[in-house]
Structure 1
Amino acid sequence: MFTANDFIPSSYSQTIENGSFEWSAPSNIALVKYWGKKANQIPANPSISFTLKNCKTITKLAFEKKNISTSLDVTHEFSFDLLFEGKPKEDFKPKIQKFFERIEQYLPFLKDYHFTIDTQNTFPHSSGIASSASGMAALAMNLMSLEKALHPEMTEDYFYQKASFLARLGSGSACRSVKGEVVAWGQQANINGTSDEFGIEFPYTIHDNFKNYQDTILLVDKGEKQVSSTVGHDLMHNHPFAERRFAQAHENLDKLISIFENGNLEAFIEIIESEALTLHAMMMTSMPYFILMKPNTLEIINKIWNFRKETKIPICFTLDAGANVHVLYPQNVIEKVLQFIQKELIGYCQNAQYICDEIGMGAMQL
C-alpha cells in the first residue's frame, strides 16, 4: 500500500510536448455515508459505495508545453481553459485552480503545460446528481495518463491508487469513482488495505445477490442545494452527536462485510436505509440546522416501505446530501420494481424524471 510521500515523484524518464487523453468516470452512491472531514480532505469516518455505470462525466484533457522564452511569469502560473459541453465554464475555474494548487507537489509538471479541459456529463445538467465526484475522478485519470507518459515504468497499482488519491483532493467522494464495483474509503481495521487517502476495491467476497445491483435515481428536486456539502461537512466539527455517528459508521461497515458475503438482503436494507436517515439526521441536528429532504422525498420513502411490506420484494432507498431518492434493488426484480416506480413514484419527481442505473466498474479510458 502506498502513502502520500510515495506519490511525490523525484524525476521523469520521458518528455512530451503535447497531446490529449480522454477518460470517463462515474458517479457513485455511498451505502455507509461519510459526513465530516478533517484537513486535506481526510474523512472523519470510513465509507463504502456502489460505483454507478451510466451517470458519468467524460473529460478530454489536451495539453501543450509552454514556451519558456515567452514569459517567465506565465511559467510560474497554472494555465488552463475549461469547457463544459463545449462552452467556456468560467464559474468552475476557481475549483480547478484550487485542485491544481493541492496536487502540484504530487504532479510537479502542472505549471509546464497549458491545459484545455473539455468536460460533459451523461446525466442532465442541474439534475441534482453530484457531478463533483465523477468530474474530479475523470480529471485525475487524465492527469495520471500524462504522468504515465512521462514515466512509463509506472505500475498499474500505483496508477490507480494515485489517481484515487488525487481525485480525493478535488472532491472527497471522487476517490470512490476510480476503480471497482464496491469501493471502501477510510481506515477500517477489518478491511485490509483501507486508507484515509484513497479508495480501494472492496477486497472480500461479494454474493451474487449484489451483482448488477440496480439504482434508479428519482429526481425529486433538480435545483441547487441550499446548503453545500462542504458547509455540511464543516458543521460536524462541534456536532453534539458526531463521535457516536463516526463510531456507528465503523460498526455498519463491519456488518456489511458479512452481509456482502452471505447475501442477506434484509440485513442490507436495514443498514442502507438507516445510514441514509442518519445522514439527514446529522443535518437536522447541526447548528445551524437544515433540511435537504423535500415533502416528495418522504412520500417516496413511505411508498417504498409500503410496497416492500406488501410484496416482500427487497427494494430499499438511500439518499445523498439532497432531496433525490436512489432506489436500490437486485437485478432479478427489475421488471416489478420499474412497474412500481412508473405507477406509484414518478408523480413525485420533478417533470416525472428518473434515471435507471446499475453497478459499474469505474473509470474507463476512451
Structure 2
Amino acid sequence: MKEQDFILKSYDATIKQGAVKWESPSNIALVKYWGKKEHQIPENPSISFTLSNCKTITKLTYTKKESRDFSFEVFFEGEKNEAFKPKIKTFFERIEEYVPFLKEYHFKIETSNTFPHSSGIASSASGMSALALCLMSIEEQLTNAVTSSVVEKSFFNKKASFLARLGSGSACRSIEGELVVWGGNKSTESSDLYGVKYEGEVHANFKDYQDTILLVDKGEKQVSSTVGHKLMFGHPFAQERFAQARNNLSELKEIFASGDLKAFIKIVESEALTLHAMMMTSMPYFILMKPNTLEIINKIWKFREETNSNVCFTLDAGANVHVLYPYNEKEAVLGFIEKELASFCQNEHYICDYIGLGANQIED
C-alpha cells in the first residue's frame, strides 16, 4: 500500500462525542532498527518479538469543538502531564493529512503503563501504538456513520501501524504479534510504511518464548533514541551496518523455520552488541550500557557455557537487559536470574514477560 491509500476521504463530523480504549504492548527487536530517513522511514529492516505483559493502556475521549486547532490534554497514571504534549503535538501534525478530523475534536488522553516509564522498555512503542489504535477506532466510528460498512481488519491494522510509525518508528511493530517485520527487504513480505505480521514458518522452539527484563537503570537515558538515530547520518560504518541487518534478517528466516536455537543466539546477541557499537563509534560518541549491564552479560555467557542452556540476551538503546529463553527452560533460567542476576538490577527489580499476540481493544 502507498501513503495515499491511508488518507481518510469522507467521514461524519457531526458526531458530538465518544470514547475508545486500547491496550498495546511493547516489543523487543531481534534485528535492530538504528538510523532513519525522512518521515520515519527505516534505513534497514527489523524484526521483533511482541511482548505481552509490558503494555500501555490508553483511553481517548473526544468532544466536538468549534476552533480549528489541535486541542488535547494528557493524563499519565491519573495525573495531568504537560511533558508529553510536545511529542503528541508533533505526532498530530505528522498524521493530520491521514486523520483530517483531528482539529475538529478536543481529545482527553488518559494513559498508563504496566511497567515503569523510562525503564528501558519501549514505552514510546506501546504508547504511540495505543494512541494510533484509539484514533483508528474513532475513524471507524466516523466512517461507519457515513458508509455503514465495517473497516476491514487488515486495513485497520496497517493504517494503525502506519500512523504509529509517524509517532515512534518501533511503535509500528506493536500492533500485531507474535513476530513483526518492518522495513522493505528481499527476505520477507514487509514494508517501510508499516509493520507486517511475520508469516514465515516458525518452529515450535520459538513458541511461548520468554523475555525477562532486568532493570539495571530506571532513569532517563542520557541520549534519546531520536538523537541516536540522527547520528547514523555520516557514520563511518552505517552502510555496513544496514547490510548486516538485512543479512541477519535473511538468516533468521531460516533459523525460525529450522528451530536452531544456537544460531538464534548468535544473531540476537550480535545484533544487540552491534547496536551499541554504533553508539560508541558515532560522533559524538556515547555509551548507554552500565557496568552492571556488562556483569549480567558475562554471567549469562558463563551460565550458558556451564549448563548448555539456550538463554541469551538482547539490548535496546539503554542499559537494561532482555533475557530471552525458550519456555521449557523457564524454571532453570528464573532460578539463575534470582540467584545470580537480580543483584545487578536497580532495587533487584526485573519483569517477567513472554511473546504476545498484539494489541486489544478494551470495552470501557
TM range, smaller chain: over 0.9
Q: In the alignment, what sits opposite 1:177?
A: 174
Q: In the alignment, what sits opposite 1:206?
A: 202
Moved over 6 A (4+): none
Q: In the alignment, what sits opposite 1:156?
A: 153
Q: In the alignment, what sits opposite 2:19?
A: 20
Distance in 1 (alpha carbons) for counterparts of 2:136 and 2:264: 35
Question: Deviation of residue 13 (structure 1)?
Answer: 5.6
Distance in 2 (alpha carbons) for counterparts of 1:94 and 1:207: 43
Q: In the alignment, what sits opposite 1:117?
A: 109
* Matched AA of 2:218: K
Question: Deviation of residue 202 (structure 1)?
Answer: 0.3
Distance in 1 (alpha carbons) for counterparts of 2:99 and 2:172: 17
Deviations 1:107-156 (A, max 9, x none): 00000100000000001234232310000000000000000111233211
| Residue of structure 2 aligned with 1:238, choices 234, 240, 243 | 234
Secondary structure, in 3 states, of the residue corresponding to 2:111?
A: strand
CA contact (8 A) 2:216 2:321 kept: yes
Q: In the alignment, what sits opposite 2:352?
A: 356
Question: Deviation of residue 165 (structure 1)?
Answer: 0.2
| Residue of structure 1 aligned with 2:85, choices 64, 89, 93 | 93
Question: Deviation of residue 302 (structure 1)?
Answer: 0.5
Secondary structure, in 3 states, of the residue corresponding to 1:21?
A: strand
Where does structure 2 lack aligned partners over 5 or more consecutive residues? none
Q: Which moved more, 1:269-278 or 1:152-161?
A: 152-161
Q: In the alignment, what sits opposite 1:221?
A: 217
Q: In the alignment, what sits opposite 1:72?
A: none
CA contact (8 A) 2:71 2:107 kept: yes
CA contact (8 A) 2:27 2:122 kept: no
Distance in 2 (alpha carbons) for counterparts of 1:255 and 1:176: 20
| Residue of structure 1 aligned with 2:252, choices 253, 256, 262 | 256
Q: Which moved more, 1:36-45 or 1:127-136?
A: 127-136
Secondary structure, in 3 states, of the residue corresponding to 1:43?
A: coil
Deviations 1:14-71 (A, max 9, x none): 74211100000000000000000000000010000000000000000000111x3xxx
Deviations 1:187-232 (A, max 9, x none): 011212x100100000111111111100000000111110100110
Q: In the alignment, what sits opposite 2:162?
A: 165
| Residue of structure 2 aligned with 1:281, choices 259, 265, 277 | 277
Using the size of structure 1 for normalisation, the TM-score is 0.96
| Residue of structure 2 aligned with 1:309, choices 305, 312, 317 | 305
CA contact (8 A) 2:120 2:317 kept: no
The number of aligned residues is: 357
Question: Deviation of residue 79 (structure 1)?
Answer: 0.5
Q: In the alignment, what sits opposite 1:83?
A: 75
- Output aligned runs, 1:124-135, within 5 Å: 124-135=116-127
Identity %: 67
CA contact (8 A) 2:23 2:55 kept: yes
CA contact (8 A) 2:165 2:171 kept: yes
CA contact (8 A) 2:13 2:101 kept: no
* Matched AA of 2:237: F
CA contact (8 A) 1:14 1:149 kept: no
Distance in 1 (alpha carbons) for counterparts of 2:12 and 2:154: 19
* Matched AA of 1:168: R
CA contact (8 A) 2:180 2:196 kept: yes
